[in-house]
A = this chain, B = another copy of it.
Amino acid sequence: MAAGRRIPEATVSRLPLYLRVLGEANGHIDTISSETLAHRAGVNAAQVRKDLSYLGSYGTRGVGYDVPYLIRQINRRLGLDGDRRVAIVGAGNLGQALASYGGFPARGFHVVAAFDADPAKVGQTVGTTRVEPVAAMAEVLRERGADIAVITTPAPAAQAVADTLVEAGIRSILNFAPTTVVVPDHVALRQVDLGIELQILSFYQQTIVTSVAGL
């Protein structure tokens, strides 16, 4: 295979999962086999080897993969080596949960702004930032150089918020509002719907250990 190849989508969706397992192993062990990594990630060892082979030949036969080195390679290939600046729109419970979520800084995601339409919320502190009024969004986003926006507003507000974000130059949006938003083609959008998670869980009443997303 070798380093230059385009990575299949299915592989991309598993790499962050490997990253999590590797992060947990890092410091405890120097080297990890495809077998162990696969077991902890809940997938097949051949799959791990094939997935990693799309990045290049970073393992050592007879030994395994060097943990910190592999972490760096995956991060690099996923474009996660630099830091990302995240803005949260909607300072309700979910917005606050995300703003103060400790796992973000460790992965290079920094919450640089939070917004809310409710004047009572403006000025409050969530995580490490102050809540700003939605009216100031375009200006604040530009000032602080936000890369990614997370929508945690009620459904009726979501589309208008998305429009404003796109106008302000945001290129990646993670939408938690329980409604679909429409964005232009150059914007990456991921819709996270917990209702759907619960429905799928209900359907699979039997052992389906699947890592889906990643709080």
Give A contacts to B, CB under 8 Å: 12-13, 16-17, 19-21, 24, 40, 78-80, 84, 86, 92-94, 96-98, 100-104, 107, 109, 147-148, 171-174, 176-180, 183, 185-215
> Which of B176, B194, B204 touches A188 (beta carbons < 8 Å)?
B204
Is A194 a contact of B171 with CB atoms below 8 Å? no
Q: Name the distance in Å between A181's Cβ and chain B's nearest Cβ.
A: 9
Is A197 a contact of B209 with CB atoms below 8 Å? no
Is A178 a contact of B17 with CB atoms below 8 Å? no
Q: Name the distance in Å between A105's Cβ and chain B's nearest Cβ.
A: 11
Is A194 a contact of B207 with CB atoms below 8 Å? no
* Residue of A20, A80, A178, A196 most packed against chain B (CB within 10 A): A196
Q: Could you show 8 A-B contacts with beta carbons less than 8 Å apart?
A: A16-B196, A20-B196, A78-B199, A97-B97, A101-B194, A102-B178, A174-B201, A197-B214
> Which of B80, B93, B197, B211 touches A93 (beta carbons < 8 Å)?
B93
Please measure, in the bound complex, the distance between the C-alpha atom of A199 and the C-alpha atom of B83, giving whole angstroms: 11
Name the residue on B nearest A93 (C-beta).
Answer: B97
Name the residue on B nearest A203 (C-beta).
Answer: B78
Q: Name the distance in Å between A171's Cβ and chain B's nearest Cβ.
A: 6
Contact residues of A: prevailing secondary structure: mixed
A199: chain B residues at CB < 8 Å are 16, 19, 78, 80, 107, 214
A107: chain B residues at CB < 8 Å are 195, 198-199
A205: chain B residues at CB < 8 Å are 79, 171-172, 188
A204: chain B residues at CB < 8 Å are 12, 188
Is B201 a contact of A213 with CB atoms below 8 Å? no
> Which of B94, B178, B192 touches A94 (beta carbons < 8 Å)?
B94
Q: Name the distance in Å between A60's Cβ and chain B's nearest Cβ.
A: 26
A174: chain B residues at CB < 8 Å are 194, 197-198, 201
